[in-house]
Structures are given as structure tokens and as C-alpha cells.
Amino acid sequence: MTATADAPTQTRQFRLPDLGEGLTESEIVSWRVGVGDTVQLNQVIGEVETAKAVVELPSPFTGRVTALLAEPGQVVAVGAPIAEFEVAAGASAKREPNLVGYGAMPEAAGRPARKARSWATAAPAAMHAATEPAAVNAATEPAAVHATTVPAAEPATAPPAERPRSTPPVRKLAKDLGVDLAVVHGSGPKGLVTRDDVLAEVGTPPSPEAGDRETRIPVQGVRKQTAAAMVASAFTAPHASEFLTVDVTPTMELLAKLKASKAFADVRLTPMTLAAKAVLVALRRHPSLNARWDEKAQEIVQYHYVNLGFAAATPRGLLVPNVKDAEVLGLRELAAAIAGVVDAAREGRIAPSDLTGGTITITNIGVFGVDAGTPILNPGEAAILAMGQVRRMPWEYRGDIALREVLTLSLSFDHRIVDGEQASRFLADVGAILGDPGMVMTMV
């Protein structure tokens, strides 16, 4: 209930919630309200972007917005105040809700200590490739609301000073050079501290103006997380790769029949769908590829379920959403699930939980007209399969040369977990199914 003109009021601050996954800062994407607007409890008031996804922020109060303390494009530390509300004075604790799923947050607005995390739950990796399809709610692991109360009759306490505006690379440079950003004058837009500002503080000549000949793009959010995950994966897991070229004409014919059938009339079926089903069948015979390496325990952890990931190129960078317990889904359900998570990732509404916990990944580089490649493992997984372009080309068929639909499969695997024989047999099984879908009858 909002305060009336005659009722006493108080000011409440909304601090940036801890969105989980060890994240310590987020970028304000947009505000859906303005100063003076009246909002209800849990009404969406804005969006923030983390290294995982774009997340909606619900209002922790019913009242009137009196200040928005961060601008779109600004990177804000977890715990820093981002908005103020005027609410009825004397509200009981029951009217100051903890948003469901939100974790604890520091009272101070300073940067919290980073949580320990493993690369098994880091942001996705894999080749820069798109896949087919996806629809998952932007549910996240939000955060408890910490509010400071200021009686309306007294002057509002000034919010804690925020750190100077800068990008993560610039903050790292300043730390390496021993520069206190608080004393640096920012020459960038709206006082943003730039790389040249930091270099000038230590007497290093700024970089020459490049004019229109080059553009510097700050690496942050998903792209920053992906880059870090790729480096970690490439230098911690001994990658090995194998390739298999297959005549998939029977699979393409089956795909056409399924699309024409009433049973699949409202389902998005693609070559990726059938390849995913082939992978799930092959994993039953070769479970060693559905595993991870536990570095601390020096053990192989083999999964008894399959959270099948799909590398998706999105406007925010590479994401790898995964379909949970994919091994129990029928073809129709699998197709819908793939379409759901990939579409959600591309539209920026994927839940962080759908970007973690994957056990094996498929990436479709064929959509770019590419035949083969050596994909990098998604951290914490033992294998990744890349699908190339399905090409119509001359092929040996029944003792003669004919035009056939041909596909190259590329498999990368962690050689600590998977031996060459295991990987080869798995890849051969996937190829056998795609070359003749009826082979599934001999494998289940």
C-alpha cells in the first residue's frame, strides 16, 4: 500500500542483490520505472546483465520511486544502492520481504569477497557456433534486500560513495600499476576512467589516437566469462580430436518424413535434433564420455544422467544452455526442450541454472557453412561433438558414385577421462545411427 499525502513516510534503499554463481557485479541494462512512479511489491523495475544472463529486478517495496542511483550501462558492485523508494513509515518487518531465492548480501555497499568456484560451473565454452533453436523463464537466484531507513522528516543520509566508474580491464590495469582510481579524473563518457587516464597517472604516454582505423571493445559479461573459461579448459584438459564423415542421406529423408507427419506438426525438428538423439543412444553404450575430472580428488566422476548442452551464438556472446535429464525424453519432447533453451538463451531470458550443470555438449558449426573443426571442451565436461554442414556431394553408394547428403562429425574429448578407443567407438556409433537410423534398434 502506498503512502498517502498526510501519512508519515520513510526512505528505503534497494541495494544490488547477490544474483548467485559467485558474481560480484552486474551492469544496469535498463530501468522500467522513473523517478516519481508508484510501484507495487515484486513489480519488475529494471534489468541487469550478469556474466550469465539478463535478469529482471523485482521491486522489494510498495511505494514511490524517489531516486535511481545507477544509469544504464553502469557496472555496479553487489551491495551498492541502486534505487530509493518512499514508503509508509512504520512498516512492519512482514512488509519488508526477502525475495525468494535471494542470497545474503553485505551491509556495506563495497565490493564483496568473491566466492570460490570451480571451472565446472563457469560460463560456457565450446566453439563459437550457433545451434538450432529455444523458452525458459528468466528465473535466477536473486538476493535479499537490505534497506536503510531514513525518517521523512530528517534529511536523507547520503548513499555510500561508489567506486569510480571504469571497466574491469581498466580496474585490473590500475591495480597492477598501483593507481588509486579514486584520485583519477575520468575523461570518458560521464566520467568513465579510461586506460589512458590510468597510464597518464603514472606518467606513461597515452596510446595514440587510432581514429577510424580501429575500435576497442571492452570485454565483459558473457564474453569475458567465456574467454576465461576457454583458457582454463584449453590449458587444464588435454584435448584430443577425431573426425568422421558420414553419408546421412537416410537421416535427412527421415527428417523430411517426420516434419510431414501429424505427430510432429507443431514441433521444430532439425538435423541437430536427430544428432542429439543419436548422441543420447550412443552414450548408453559409452558412458565414459558423460563424465568429468575431479582434480582435487584425482577421480573420474561418471554421470548417471545426461544434461545435454547446445552451444548457441547470441547477441551477448557464446552461451551453452543445457537440457536437463535429456536421456529420458522422447524425440518430440527433446525437440521442444532444445528449442526452448536455445531460444531463451538468444533472447536473453535464460535462467542461470540452465547454463550450468551440463555433462556433454553439441555445437553446430554447419550453420556457418563449415565442414569440421576442433571444438574446445565446455569446462567440467569430457566431450563435445561438432556438427558440420550437410553437403550434397558425390559419394560411393552401393558400388557406384551418387550424389548423397554428407556430414562431418568432429569430436573433442578429455584424454584424462576418455581413451582413444572409447572415443572412437562412441563417434562410430553416432555416425552409424545418422547413416542408418534403423541401427538404433541394435543399440537399445
pLDDT reported for residue 90: 63
Q: Tell me the pTM.
A: 0.59
Q: What is the mean pLDDT of residues 170-184?
A: 81
Radius of gyration, alpha carbons of the chain:
26
pLDDT reported for residue 153: 42
C-alpha cell at 369: 557453412
Distance CA 194, CA 179 (A): 13
Distance CA 8, CA 25 (A): 35
Q: What is the pLDDT of residues 334-348, one digit of tens each?
A: 999 999 999 999 988
pLDDT reported for residue 139: 37
User: Higher-confidence residue: 94 or 372?
Assistant: 372
pLDDT reported for residue 412: 97
CATH topology of domain 168-207: Dihydrolipoamide Transferase (4.10.320)
Using alpha carbons only, give the angle 203, 207, 210 rounded to the nearest 5 degrees: 160
Contact 423, 243 (CB under 8 A): no
Q: What is the mean pLDDT of residues 36-52?
A: 87
User: Higher-confidence residue: 214 or 100?
Assistant: 214
Active-site residue 146, yes or no?
Answer: no
> Which phi and psi (to 5°) does residue 241 adopt?
-135, 145
Q: Which residues make beta-bridge pairs with 103?
A: 143
Residue 407 has pLDDT above 80, yes or no: yes
C-alpha cell at 349: 531470458
Instruction: Please report the sign of the dihedral spanned by the C-alpha atoms of residue 56, residue 61, residue 65, residue 66.
Output: negative
pLDDT reported for residue 141: 37
For the CA atoms of 300, 129, 255, 261, the dihedral, rounded to the nearest 10 degrees, stands at 100
Helix (H) or strand (E) holding 56: strand 54-58
Q: Class for domain 222-442, per CATH?
A: alpha beta
Distance CA 185, CA 195 (A): 12
Q: What is the pLDDT of residues 250-299, one digit of tens each?
A: 999 999 999 999 999 899 999 999 999 999 999 999 999 999 999 899 99
Distance CA 152, CA 170 (A): 40
User: Higher-confidence residue: 332 or 160?
Assistant: 332
Residue 204 has pLDDT above 50, yes or no: yes
Instruction: Please report the sign of the dihedral spanned by the C-alpha atoms of residue 402, residue 403, residue 408, residue 409.
Output: negative
pLDDT reported for residue 23: 67
Residue 110 has pLDDT above 60, yes or no: no
Q: What is the mean pLDDT of residues 136-160?
A: 40
- Poorest-pLDDT segment among 20-29, 65-74, 149-158: 149-158
How many other CB atoms are found less than 10 A from the CB of residue 208?
6
Q: Which amino acid is at 200?
A: A
Contact 308, 335 (CB under 8 A): no
Q: What is the mean pLDDT of residues 325-330?
A: 97
Give the model's confidence band at 7: pLDDT under 50 very low, under 70 low, under 90 confident, else very high.
Answer: confident
Contact 284, 312 (CB under 8 A): no
Distance CA 443, CA 434 (A): 13
- The residue with cell 576418455 is 418
pLDDT reported for residue 108: 36
**At 327, is the secondary structure helix, strand, or coil?**
helix
pLDDT reported for residue 392: 97
Using alpha carbons only, give the angle 379, 385, 389 rounded to the nearest 5 degrees: 135
Residue 47 has pLDDT above 50, yes or no: yes
Give the model's confidence band at 48: pLDDT under 50 very low, under 70 low, under 90 confident, else very high.
Answer: confident
Give the model's confidence band at 182: pLDDT under 50 very low, under 70 low, under 90 confident, else very high.
Answer: confident
Q: Which amino acid is at 158?
A: A
Q: Where are the domains of the chain?
A: 168-207, 222-442
Give the model's confidence band at 220: pLDDT under 50 very low, under 70 low, under 90 confident, else very high.
Answer: low
Which one, of 55, 48, 49, 45, lies nearest residue 138 by Cα?
Answer: 55
Sorted by sequence, the CB contacts under 8 Å of residue 155 that are 6+ apart come out as none
Distance CA 348, CA 370 (A): 26
How many other CB atoms are found less than 10 A from the CB of residue 123?
29
User: Higher-confidence residue: 138 or 165?
Assistant: 165
Looking at residue 5, the DSSP 8-state letter turns out to be: S
Measure Cα distances from 327 to 287, 334, 403 in Å: 12, 9, 34
Q: Which residues make beta-bridge pairs with 26?
A: 76
pLDDT reported for residue 302: 96
- 3-state SS, 260-273, equals HCHHHCCCCCCHHH
Q: Which amino acid is at 160?
A: P
Distance CA 104, CA 2 (A): 27
Give the model's confidence band at 191: pLDDT under 50 very low, under 70 low, under 90 confident, else very high.
Answer: confident
C-alpha cell at 87: 514508503
Instruction: Please report the sign of the dihedral spanned by the C-alpha atoms of residue 124, residue 125, residue 129, residue 133.
Output: negative
Contact 287, 302 (CB under 8 A): yes
Distance CA 397, CA 70 (A): 65
Q: What is the mean pLDDT of residues 183-193?
A: 79
Q: What is the pLDDT of residues 293-313, one digit of tens each?
A: 998 999 999 999 999 999 998
Q: Which residues of 39-69 are buried (b: 16+ CB within 10 A; e: fewer)?
A: beeeeebbbbbbbbbbbbbbbbbbbbbbebb
Q: What is the pLDDT of residues 357-374, one digit of tens each?
A: 999 999 999 999 999 999
Sorted by sequence, the CB contacts under 8 Å of residue 294 that are 6+ apart come out as 300, 301
User: Higher-confidence residue: 226 or 114?
Assistant: 226
Give the model's confidence band at 21: pLDDT under 50 very low, under 70 low, under 90 confident, else very high.
Answer: low
